Amino acid sequence: MRCLSCNAALTDFEATRKTLKTEEYLDLCNNCFYTIKDDVLTLDRSDLEDEESRQDDDEYGLDYDLDEHI
């Protein structure tokens, strides 16, 4: 899978992120998701989060401790 915005390859964690309201996949990398994170409630598979995703979270101020990002 590729990011719909920048065409970067998605990790399993990024590829399984869904919107809370419609449960549709977002298909955005963490970098592109950061730009809309305050506007979109998501469901995340924290069990798929790897070290690289955690580094992106720290860099962009994302917090995925819960399976549901509000």
Number of domains in the chain: 1
Q: pTM (2 decimals)?
A: 0.69
Count of beta carbons in the 10 Å neighbourhood of residue 12: 13
The answer to whether residue 25 is domain-embedded is yes
pLDDT tens-place values along the chain, 70 residues long: 999 999 999 999 999 999 999 999 999 999 999 999 999 999 998 888 876 655 555 555 555 444 444 4
Residue 39 lies in a domain: yes
> Alpha-carbon torsion 19, 22, 28, 32, what sign?
negative
Return the pLDDT at 48: 85
| Residue 3 located in a structural domain | yes
Dig out the tokens for 23 from the structure. Answer: 């449960």
- CA 66, 23, 15: angle at the middle one, nearest 5? 70
Contact 63, 31 (CB under 8 A): no
Domain-located, residue 62: no
Q: Which domain holds residue 32?
A: 1-51
